[in-house]
Copies of this chain bind each other. A is one copy, B any other.
Amino acid sequence: MTTLQKLTMVGERLLRDQLLDVLRRHGVSGWTITLAEGEGSRGVRASEWAGRNVQIDTLVSRETADAILEEVSERFFEDWALIAYTVEARVLRGDKYLS
């Protein structure tokens, strides 16, 4: 069992490929994506289902999580309603997620 960070990013679907590019550049090779509806502090509502948001989850080291969060913050937080956070996870055979 390895302790890793589950990194979650929720944002508009338009950001999907750019966010995955950030992950790849930081050596991440696996993630899951779910569709989400969101209402944020801007008051914009994605009312059509399977709407505007994607949630991207991945498992990374704390160091990688922090590097990704810093880049994401600098590039997207000014202009996009993006949410990003990490949660500590105990991962089965987690060593394979360490890049």
Is A67's CB within 8 Å of the partner chain B?
no
CB neighbours of A38 from chain B (8 A): 30-33
* Residue in B31, B35, B43, B73 whose CB lies within 8 Å of A34: B35
Q: How many residues of A contact B (CB 8 A)?
A: 39
Alpha-carbon distance between A37 and B50 when the two chains are bound, in angstroms: 13
A32 touching B41 in the complex, CB below 8 Å, given contacts A69-B92, A89-B86: no
Is A96's CB within 8 Å of the partner chain B?
yes
CB neighbours of A89 from chain B (8 A): 85-87
> Are B85 and A94 touching (Cβ within 8 A)?
yes
A85 touching B92 in the complex, CB below 8 Å, given contacts A37-B32, A39-B30, A41-B29: yes
